[in-house]
């Protein structure tokens, strides 16, 4: 009997027995979890009664805090990283020696939602200009943008009349990043969306911890001016989680709301009218668009499919572990 109970449900061929064993194991886990919770609460209550500090709660295990060890994770005292930042392709823009100027174009086959997405991107990125692709080759566009003093090119690629990829090219000497685009929601489809102003936005970058992630973050940062106008209350966020980069565009709003004081309840006392008090409440309003990016490749220099040298490319054999992240 003990050997049978020790069997895993997946090893039992009979469906009814397998489901019964699975339900029994699930119930046992639930009971053990309740016992541990009660014991923890009793220990906390005992510590409070004795005037001691309650025992620290164990941190839950997540995929993020149990990720595989990566030697390329950036450290605050990494002098080599800071020396590389001063000499990379984005340093002149991030040091405000050059003003960002972005050219936005599309692939040769246009899409139905492409124009709305490009309008939203033009509203997000200051000093961005849209040029029709026509029949021009991408290398010719790179040459034209270099002559017109553009600092970056964004190409919106479409498949089956739907935007599905972004190509970001840094000028004049690269790099070129290829991203898969998914879960796109344009501004008009966002409920209670706000309309962005022309103020320069604040930038928020989360969880770009490795050398590769640091480089990708600086590429996104080079698309925007580095002197945000706080009066506009615009925020652009690039949040990396498990190598998926979530893009959000908000404006924060300060509102004054009246809150009444609680009335005094007592015998023999005159009830006074509650005086309204004004409280300032901050909230976020999404301006759009909303989408998710996944890095496919990062190439040295400008776009070159034949002779280009790649810094990093995503391969299927890299996805063997759920706890391995590259950004």
Looking at residue 298, its pLDDT comes to 92
Q: What mean pLDDT do residues 95-119 have? A: 87
Residues 113 and 157: beta-carbon distance below 8 Å: no
- pLDDT tens digits for 263-276? 555 555 555 555 67
Report the alpha-carbon distance of residue 88 to residue 216 in Å, rounded.
12
Read off the pLDDT band of 1 (50, 70, 90).
very low
Is the model's pLDDT at 4 over the cut of 70? no
Looking at residue 213, its pLDDT comes to 92
Q: Percent of the chain scored above 90 by pLDDT?
A: 42
Six-digit token string for 88: 């990379």
Report the alpha-carbon distance of residue 272 to residue 195 in Å, rounded.
44
Q: What mean pLDDT do residues 171-193 have? A: 91
Torsion over CA: 74, 80, 83, 85 (sign): negative
HSE-CB for 41 with a 13 A CA cutoff: 6
Is the model's pLDDT at 63 over the cut of 90? no
- pLDDT tens digits for 112-162? 788 889 999 999 999 999 998 888 899 999 999 999 999 999 999 988 888
What's the start-to-end Cα distance of the chain, in Å?
49
C-beta neighbour count of 220 within 10 angstroms = 20
Six-digit token string for 214: 């640091």
Q: Across-strand partners of 219?
A: none
169 φ/ψ angles, rounded to the nearest 5 degrees: -115, 120
Report the alpha-carbon distance of residue 179 to residue 177 in Å, rounded.
6
Output helix, strand, coil percentages for the chain, rounded to the nearest 5.
30, 30, 40
Six-digit token string for 144: 């034209």
Read off the pLDDT band of 55 (50, 70, 90).
confident
Residues 198 and 175: beta-carbon distance below 8 Å: no
Residues 119 and 104: beta-carbon distance below 8 Å: no
pTM: 0.80
Give me the chain's average pLDDT, please.
86
Looking at residue 14, its pLDDT comes to 86
Is the model's pLDDT at 216 over the cut of 90? yes
Most confident of 109-113, 243-247, 300-304: 243-247
| Ramachandran quadrant class, 22 (left: phi over 0; alpha: psi -120 to 50; beta: rest) | alpha
Report the alpha-carbon distance of residue 247 to residue 292 in Å, rounded.
6
Question: Residue-wise over 252-280: b if at least 16 C-beta within 10 A, else e?
Answer: eeeeeeeeeeeeeeeeeeeeeeeeeeeee
Identify which of 276, 230, 237, 284 has the alpha carbon closest to the alpha carbon of residue 257: 276
N residues, the chain: 327
Beta strand residue intervals within the chain, DSSP E: 102-106, 128-130, 152-159, 162-170, 176-185, 202-206, 234-241, 244-260, 276-286, 290-299, 310-313
Read off the pLDDT band of 204 (50, 70, 90).
very high
Looking at residue 31, its pLDDT comes to 93
- Over its C-alpha atoms, the chain yields an Rg (Å, rounded) of 28
Per the model's pLDDT, the better-predicted residue between 311 and 83 turns out to be: 311
Residues 245 and 327: beta-carbon distance below 8 Å: yes
């Amino acid at each position: 009997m003990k050997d049978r109970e020790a069997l895993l449900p997946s090893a039992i061929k009979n469906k009814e027995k397998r489901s019964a064993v699975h339900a029994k194991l699930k119930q046992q886990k639930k009971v053990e979890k309740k016992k541990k919770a009660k014991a923890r609460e009793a220990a906390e209550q005992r510590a409070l009664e004795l005037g001691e500090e309650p025992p620290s709660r164990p941190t839950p295990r997540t995929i993020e805090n149990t990720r595989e060890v990566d030697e390329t994770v950036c450290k605050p005292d990494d002098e080599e990283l800071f020396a590389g930042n001063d000499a990379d392709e984005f340093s002149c823009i991030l040091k405000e020696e050059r003003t960002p100027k972005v050219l936005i174009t599309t692939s040769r086959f246009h899409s139905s939602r492409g124009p709305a997405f490009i309008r939203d991107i033009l509203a997000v990125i200051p000093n961005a200009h849209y040029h029709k692709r026509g029949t021009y080759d991408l290398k010719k566009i790179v040459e034209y943008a270099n002559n017109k003093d553009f600092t970056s090119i964004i190409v919106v690629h479409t498949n089956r009349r739907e935007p599905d990829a972004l190509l970001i090219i840094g000028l004049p000497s690269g790099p070129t990043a290829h991203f898969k685009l998914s879960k796109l929601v344009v501004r008009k489809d966002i409920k209670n969306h706000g309309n962005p102003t022309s103020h320069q936005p604040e930038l928020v970058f989360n969880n770009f911890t490795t050398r590769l992630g640091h480089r990708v973050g600086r590429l996104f940062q080079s698309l925007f001016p580095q002197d945000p106008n706080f009066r506009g209350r615009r925020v652009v966020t690039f949040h990396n989680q498990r190598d998926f980069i979530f893009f959000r565009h908000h404006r924060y709003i300060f509102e004054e709301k009246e809150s009444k004081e609680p009335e005094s309840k007592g015998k023999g006392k005159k009830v006074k009218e509650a005086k309204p008090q004004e409280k300032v409440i901050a909230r976020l309003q999404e301006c759009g668009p909303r989408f998710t990016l996944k890095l496919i490749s990062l190439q040295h220099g400008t776009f070159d499919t034949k002779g280009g040298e790649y810094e990093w490319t995503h391969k299927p054999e890299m996805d063997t572990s759920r706890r391995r992240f590259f950004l």
